[in-house]
Structure 1
Amino acid sequence: MRNANAMNRMNRLPVSGFHKTMLLAVSFAYFFEFADINSFATTAPQLIDLWGVTVDHVAYVTSLSFVGMFVGSLAGGALADRWGRKRALVRTTMFFGLFSLVSVFSWDLVSLGVFRVLTSAGLSAMTVVGVVYINEMYPAAVRGKYQAYAIVIGICGTPVTNLIASVVVPLSDWSWRLVYLWGSLGLLLILFTRHLKESPRWYESRGDHEKADEVLRAIEAQVAAEKGPLPEPAPPVTEAPVTKAPLRLLLQRKYLLPTLLLTVVWVTQTIGFFGYSSWAPTLLAKEGFSVEKSVFYVALTTVGAPLGSYLAALVTDRFERKWCLVGFGTVIAVCGLLYGLTFSPVLIIVFGFLVNLFERGYTALGYAYSPEVFDTRGRSLGTSVSYGLGRLSNAAGPLIVASLYTNHGYRSVFYFIAGTWLTGAVVLAVFGPRTRAARLAETAT
């Protein structure tokens, strides 16, 4: 077979039970990613009392976790290209779930730190794979919306975990371990495996058109049985087969400029978001709020996260994603700054709620925007490198936050976070490519 025409055959499919099952599986993986990603932040206030952990210790563990995320991001892109999107999704989720489970048995801060680094590597690898998988498996006209829907469901892992932590962490000297046990339930993704299909576009990019056609026929039969006869796809566009995208590919102008842009996007998002979410419980506790209240206040603010992802779903395919990102980033900067300028519990919850709402909307938009600026050949590599560098940047972020807090006080942390978000918004506004026209053209072909 010369060309399986995967892109056009997938684009002309109506959304069906096949797509919804895949959405549920990816959302499940995202749920436990978001459940697990802030586990250390929610248990750190208790460890300060139990193990004598200091703010600097929290900074070091958090920093090393982001080094793990960087390694995981690079590995995720490579594994998605080597194993395929489906297999990589399942295996990376198994990896982070396993080390979250091992974290339950930590005996000191060093052991917990090692396990958190490995967990973080798996979390980041899974995210890269999930973003690429959805991008290739949904029709172009709705892929942004369904990317956001996956996060709407997945992001519920954050408030659920924070609320669980607010209840179980104060119960006893050992009950903080239950937070990590909860995060390990991502292992249950294995139950979805037989319902998922490999990406035909991945097979096609490797020159395996027969296998791509086989998977496409199975998908088409499943969709047609539910939705009726399918329209004819547009004529195929021939692409050269690619078995591996070497790192030097990103030095080509075609890939270098979007990689640099997305690196700025993910660096500012990572430092801006984790500077807030990873530190809020600890900083509130250091400013005189009890452990119970600090964890509870942060848990209430994260209720805004699913609403933000849903807001992104409403706008992502209707407007230019670049300008949505700029607008969301600017609002986060303002609300994050106001959060740091008040010690009123009500205002802390209100502004924290708005930060979570728009930040998770920003993340959903970014997940949809990032792979669109690359073609199939550079998609996994470009997405993984830029996302990974963003995560690596936050190896320095916690150290900066700890230094600012120690030397300049609580509010200086939030001036820094607001400035980070605003920098990302300005860079996107000036240099970010528009992708809506290309997306519409792809749908029309």
Structure 2
Amino acid sequence: MQQANALNRLDRLPISRFHKVTLLAVAFAYFFEFADINSFATTAPKLIKLWGLSVDQVAYVTSLSFVGMFIGAIAAGSLADRWGRKRALLWTTLFFGISSFAAVFSWDLVSLGVFRVLTSAGLSAMTVVGVVYVNEMYPSATRGKYQAYAIAIGICGTPVTNLIASLVVPLNDWSWRLVYLWGSLGILLVFFAGRLKESPRWLESRGEHAAADAVLREIEASVAAEKGPLPEPAPPVTETPSTKAPLRLLLQKKYLMPTLLLSVLWMTQTIGFFGYSSWAPTLLAKEGFSVEKSVFYVALTTVGAPLGCYLASLVTDRFERKWCLVAFGTVIAACGLLYGLTFNPVLIIVFGFLVNLFERGYTALAYAYSPELFDTRSRSLGTSVSYGLGRLSNAAGPLIVASLYTGHGYQSVFYFIAGTWLVGAVALAAFGTRTRSARVAAAERKGVGVPV
């Protein structure tokens, strides 16, 4: 049959119950990703006392977790291209949930480290698939906003988990295990399975036009029943059906520069964010704050995270995403440095709050920006490789942090983190691609316009 015209048929749909259910499912997966991603950071201060761990041992486990994230991200590209976006989203979420559940039964640092590597692989894989899935299922003119909405809901998993950890970790010598049990609840995503649709754009990219058309008809029927008759889509743009994208595809000139730029973006984001979030409770405890206070202070700062995603939703489709990322990255560098230069509890909470606010806004913007730099064939591969390289880079990050802390003290860590964020901002300013014109064109085809 003829091309299904998935992009234009999806672009002209008004936001409906279908989009909201999809948003809720992806946000649910994100919630437990963010709930689980800092589990080790919130339990490490307790394990240092129980198991006699050193800062270097904490660093090694954290580093290995990022190796797991790299493996998961790279695998995600292949899984999403081979299995489809929906199936890959479900299986990667199940994988990290089961791995987190296994961590409940850890008996020493080695066993916990193995389970954390497996969990981290699943978390990273799910994130890559989720980013691509949202990019392909929502109208071009508003996908950034809904990507931010999904993260705004999902990021609530961080403060909720940190608050839970601040309550349960100090209870007794085994209660830290409940943090990993909580993180495993992402497996409940299976209850959304029947409500999710496969990406018609993925089906179409494989030449499965009949299957893509069938999914599109289901979506269109549900939207039309709720919103009324739908406008005619713009004429299709011919695309050559493709099979699995080989890794060498990214060496082609049109893909190499976006891959390199996004690798820098995710490297600086990963080292900058996890250098802060993974180490803040431990370093505060090392500087004389009690375990209870250090975890509680960090929990309070993460309240800024959902607000940051909401802030991103206000600007992501209104302005050029590249410049929003540059601005957010610069502010994070300044606030993160000020966080490290004070030992006043109120200022720690204030600057930590601002770091979380702008960092999660930055992440929401980056999730929307990254897949836009690739076409359908290369989107999953390009996103997974650049995201994976970013996560792999932080295998060295914790070792650098531990070395800086041991050799030069607490504040040197935050000079390093601030510098990392500035490198990312400069790279984006100098080499970042503008994507707003393409979104404006999509909105004009749909006839809705883009806010200015």
Measure how far apart 1:160 and its partner are. Answer: 0.1
2:432 counterpart letter in structure 1: G
1:116 counterpart letter in structure 2: R
Measure how far apart 1:444 and its partner are. Answer: 2.8
Measure how far apart 1:107 and its partner are. Answer: 0.3
Instruction: Find the counterpart in structure 2 of residue 282 from structure 1.
Output: 282
Instruction: Find the counterpart in structure 2 of residue 51 from structure 1.
Output: 51
SS in 2 for 1:99: helix
2-structure distance, mates of 1:443, 1:252: 30
Instruction: Find the counterpart in structure 2 of residue 228 from structure 1.
Output: 228
How is 1:41-440 mapped onto 2 (pairs within 5 angstroms)? 41-440=41-440
1-structure distance, mates of 2:244, 2:410: 47
Instruction: Find the counterpart in structure 2 of residue 7 from structure 1.
Output: 7
2-structure distance, mates of 1:369, 1:45: 36
SS in 2 for 1:170: coil
SS in 2 for 1:135: helix
Cα shift readout 1:329-387 (whole Å, capped 9, x = no counterpart): 00000000000000000000000000000000000000000000111111000000000
**What root-mean-square deviation, in Å, do the aligned CA atoms of Structure 1 and Structure 2 show?**
0.4
2-structure distance, mates of 1:76, 1:349: 36
2-structure distance, mates of 1:74, 1:240: 24
Count of matched residue positions in the alignment of Structure 1 and Structure 2:
445
Measure how far apart 1:441 and its partner are. Answer: 1.6
2-structure distance, mates of 1:414, 1:281: 14
Measure how far apart 1:74 and its partner are. Answer: 0.5
1:328 counterpart letter in structure 2: F
Cα shift readout 1:381-403 (whole Å, capped 9, x = no counterpart): 00000000000000000000000
Measure how far apart 1:243 and its partner are. Answer: 1.2
**Gap regions ≥5 residues in structure 1:** none
Measure how far apart 1:443 and its partner are. Answer: 3.0
Instruction: Find the counterpart in structure 2 of residue 38 from structure 1.
Output: 38
1:185 counterpart letter in structure 2: L
Cα shift readout 1:312-342 (whole Å, capped 9, x = no counterpart): 0000000000000000000000000000000
SS in 1 for 2:300: helix
Measure how far apart 1:438 and its partner are. Answer: 1.3
SS in 2 for 1:343: coil
1-structure distance, mates of 2:265, 2:114: 28
1:431 counterpart letter in structure 2: F
Cα shift readout 1:244-288 (whole Å, capped 9, x = no counterpart): 100000000100000000000000000000000000000000000
Measure how far apart 1:2 and its partner are. Answer: 1.6
Measure how far apart 1:440 and its partner are. Answer: 1.4
**Gap regions ≥5 residues in structure 2:** 446-452
Instruction: Find the counterpart in structure 1 of residue 18 from structure 2.
Output: 18
1:353 counterpart letter in structure 2: F
1:310 counterpart letter in structure 2: Y
Cα shift readout 1:50-69 (whole Å, capped 9, x = no counterpart): 00111001000000000000
2:138 counterpart letter in structure 1: Y
Cα shift readout 1:180-207 (whole Å, capped 9, x = no counterpart): 0000000000000000000000000000
1:429 counterpart letter in structure 2: A
Moved runs in structure 1, 4+ residues, more than 2 A? 442-445
1-structure distance, mates of 2:362, 2:179: 26
SS in 1 for 2:106: coil
Cα shift readout 1:396-435 (whole Å, capped 9, x = no counterpart): 0000000000000000000000000000000000100100
Identity of aligned residues (%): 83
